[in-house]
C-alpha cells in the first residue's frame, strides 16, 4: 500500500523543520533540534505513519535520540519508524541495523551483538557499509572471542 501524499504546504513545513533540526544539531543546540524534529512529526495528519515522509521523520527522530544518548526515547521512536516502514525488506534491514546501533550506543553490548549478528548472518557486511567503523569492529571482535568465526568472514 502506498503512502498518503502530504499537502504541499505541510510538506514544505516538514522540509523546513528538518533543515532547522539538522542545523541545530550541527550547532550543538539539541533542545532546538528536538523541537524542530517533533514539529515536523506533529505536522503530519493522522494516521501519521501512513503519510509520506513518516518513515524518514521517525527515523531522523530515532537517530537524534540515539546521538544524544536518550536510548529509551530512541527505542520508542524506533517502534514508530517500524510502523511507518511497514513490512518492507529494506525497512527490516535498515531498522534492524538502527536497533543494533541504539543498543550499542546505549551500552547494551550483548543485545547489540545479537542484533548485529542476525544482520551479519543474513547480509554479511553489507548493513555496516557507510556506517561508523566501530560497529563492524565491535561485531567482528566479539564474534572472534565467542568462537563465531575469524574476521575475514
The pLDDT assigned to 153 comes to 45
The residues facing 4 across adjacent strands are: 51
- Closest by CA to 17, choosing from 35, 1, 4, 44, is 35
pLDDT exceeds 70 at position 149: no
How far is the C-alpha of 58 from the C-alpha of 84, rounded, in Å?
8
- pLDDT single digits (tens) 24-79: 999 999 999 999 999 999 999 999 999 999 999 999 999 999 999 999 999 999 99
pLDDT exceeds 70 at position 13: yes
How far is the C-alpha of 122 from the C-alpha of 28, rounded, in Å?
37
The pLDDT assigned to 88 comes to 76
pLDDT > 90 fraction of the chain, expressed in percent and rounded? 86
In this predicted model, which residue has the larger pLDDT, 54 or 90? 54
User: Looking at the domain that runs over 1-86, which CATH code has it been given?
Assistant: 1.25.40.10
How far is the C-alpha of 57 from the C-alpha of 48, rounded, in Å?
10
The pLDDT assigned to 147 comes to 76
What the block records as the C-alpha cell of 81 is 519508524
The pLDDT assigned to 152 comes to 47
Structure confidence at residue 94 as a pLDDT band (50, 70, 90) = very high
Angle in degrees, 0-180, between the axes of helices 8-26 and 54-67, rounded to the nearest 10: 20
Amino acid at each position: 500500500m502506498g503512502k498518503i501524499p502530504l499537502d504541499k504546504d505541510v510538506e514544505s513545513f516538514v522540509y523546513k523543520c528538518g533543515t532547522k533540526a539538522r542545523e541545530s544539531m550541527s550547532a550543538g543546540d539539541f533542545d532546538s533540534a528536538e523541537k524542530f524534529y517533533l514539529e515536523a512529526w506533529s505536522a503530519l495528519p493522522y494516521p501519521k505513519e501512513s503519510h509520506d515522509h513518516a518513515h524518514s521523520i521517525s527515523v531522523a527522530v530515532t537517530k537524534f535520540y540515539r546521538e544524544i544518548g536518550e536510548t529509551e526515547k530512541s527505542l520508542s521512536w524506533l517502534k514508530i519508524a517500524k510502523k511507518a516502514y511497514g513490512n518492507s525488506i529494506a525497512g527490516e534491514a535498515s531498522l534492524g541495523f538502527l536497533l543494533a546501533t541504539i543498543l550499542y550506543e546505549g551500552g547494551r553490548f550483548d543485545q547489540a551483538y545479537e542484533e548485529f549478528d542476525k544482520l551479519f548472518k543474513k547480509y554479511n557486511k553489507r548493513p555496516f557499509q557507510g556506517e561508523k567503523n566501530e560497529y563492524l569492529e565491535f561485531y567482528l571482535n566479539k564474534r572472534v572471542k565467542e568462537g563465531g568465526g575469524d574476521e575475514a568472514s
